[in-house]
Amino acid sequence: MGVNGYHGPSGRLSSSTTQLGQAPRVTGAFGFGVCELQRWPRRTRVVRREAAAQIRAKSDSKKGDEENRWTVALEKRQSDTPLVIQSSNSSIRNLKGDYTEGLLNIFPEYQREYVWEKKEASRLVVTVLCNRFVPSVVLYEKEQGTYDVVDGKQRLSTLLAFCLADSDDDFSKRDDKLPPFSELCGLEEENADLNGLRYKDMPAKWQKAFGGYMVQVSKIPYGTKKSEVFEIYVDINSGGRDLTTQQIRRAAYFGDYIKLLDELAEDENFRYVWDPKAADAGRQNVEEEDTELILRALAMRRQGCGGNPPFKPPLKTFLNSELDRLDPECMSAEGRRREVQAMRAEFSAVMAAAREVFREGAFRRWKRSKQKGGR
């Protein structure tokens, strides 16, 4: 028995004839059956769950790859033997004793000069007298029992100059490295009444308090690798006065090689071919870029000779490894002497030849001539 199709607001009966007892197939506006529409949500949920699972799997995989990436990057920088910095407190009195006995070198050759004004120095002394905080000092045990000041030269120089200025011992009379700072000056407001105060005029109680003030001292132990000392210098100076890489390298690797670079940078022929105008004007000031240029030349000269490994970046590490060659732990004193002599002779000969052949054009880019095959 047939049933005529009925068009309702939400759908229509199929125009096909249905049998009694069989539900008519109702189709929507787009021709999909209602039964099919009822089955879709379950199918959609399954598909969505599968898609979500795939997304989570990809996300977990990506997260795992990211973690592995950072793990590899961090472990590559982890040292098998972590550097142990020894931290302790030392009184100004003890630091003064180490300095007068020659165990504390406040003026290494690689350190900058004393630059504080007397007003700044006076404020530091007042800080100590008021028992307020003074930043820590970093020392490097370059030789067993002997320390170089890595950070804190200005502060230590000020404190020792103040308490040794009026000392009657022979050391204070022959020591001319300390700054000429003997009395407080330039203080303002609540500290103005201390202007003119000298250490010798302080009551014994206050002299004792000044000498007993504890300064926090961090010590880089003896035997630390030069490359690690170099990085410590970088970290210490990263937030203060801008230093070039060569200036930091000078501090960490100071020795026979650095002294040789300074000597070669003053070579007459090198000064001429490197900067003819400055040489003609009589300006012979050696700068760190000069010594780094020479270091690069000497380091590159050895590449491919005697089985030496080829250059690999970064340049900083490459140049540091070159300086390590003349380290006392890697080469005997006689070996260092012969190597320095050979490098000095070779460099001087090359610079003399460069001046004779190229004159002021040795470090200039050559321009191709208009003539065919010419330069």
What residues pair up with 220 in beta bridges, in sequence order? 140
Cα distance between residue 211 and residue 161, in whole Å = 13
Task: Pick from 9-13, 25-29, 363-367 the range whose average pLDDT is largest.
Answer: 363-367
Pair (211, 277) in one structural domain? no
Cα separation, 36 vs 11, in Å, equals 14
pLDDT in tens, 242-262: 567 777 787 777 788 888 888
Say what the pLDDT of residue 254 is.
78
The answer to whether residue 101 is domain-embedded is: yes
Do both 64 and 101 map to the same domain? no
Please list, in sequence order, all residues whose beta carbon lies within 8 angstroms of the beta carbon of residue 297, skipping any fewer than 6 positions away. 347
- Whether residue 281 has pLDDT greater than 60: no
SS3 37: helix
pLDDT tens, position by position, 195-236: 999 999 999 999 999 999 999 999 988 888 777 777 777 777
Whether residue 69 is found in the same domain as residue 92 = no
Overall average pLDDT of the 320-344 stretch: 85
User: Does residue 21 form part of some domain?
Assistant: yes
Is the pLDDT higher at 354 or at 282?
354
Average pLDDT estimate for 359-375: 61
Does 184 lie in the same domain as 95? yes
Query: Which of 189, 206, 224 finishes a domain?
Result: 224
Query: For the residues 157-168, what does the mean pLDDT come to?
Result: 87
Question: Residue 11's pLDDT band (boundaries 50, 70, 90)?
Answer: very low
The model carries a pTM of 0.54
Q: What DSSP line would sit under 177-211, residue for residue?
A: -S-S--B--S--GGGGGGTT-BGGGS-HHHHHHHH
Average pLDDT for residues 40-44, to the nearest whole number? 57
CB 216 within 8 A of CB 87: yes
Which pLDDT does position 9 carry in this prediction? 45
What's the chain's Rg over C-alpha atoms? 38
Please report, rounded to a whole number, the percentage of residues in the chain having pLDDT higher than 70. 69
323: three-class secondary structure by DSSP:
helix
Q: Determine, yes or no, domain membership for 235.
A: no
Do residues 66 and 154 share a domain? Answer: no
Q: Does 97 share its domain with 211?
A: yes
Total domains in the fold of the chain: 3
- Nearest by Cα to 114 from 62, 72, 157, 56: 157
Nearest partner of 250 among 277, 286, 285, judged by Cα: 286
In a domain, 243, yes or no: no
Average of pLDDT values for 284-298?
Answer: 78
**Which of 180, 208, 224 marks a domain boundary?**
224
- pLDDT exceeds 60 at position 52: yes
- Same-domain check for residues 183 and 131: yes
Residue 41's domain spans which residues? 12-76
Residue 178 maps to a domain: yes
What tokens appear for 116 in the block? 């504080």
Q: Are residues 202 and 312 in the same domain?
A: no
Residues 70 and 90 occupy one common structural domain: no
Top pLDDT among 94 and 78 is at 94
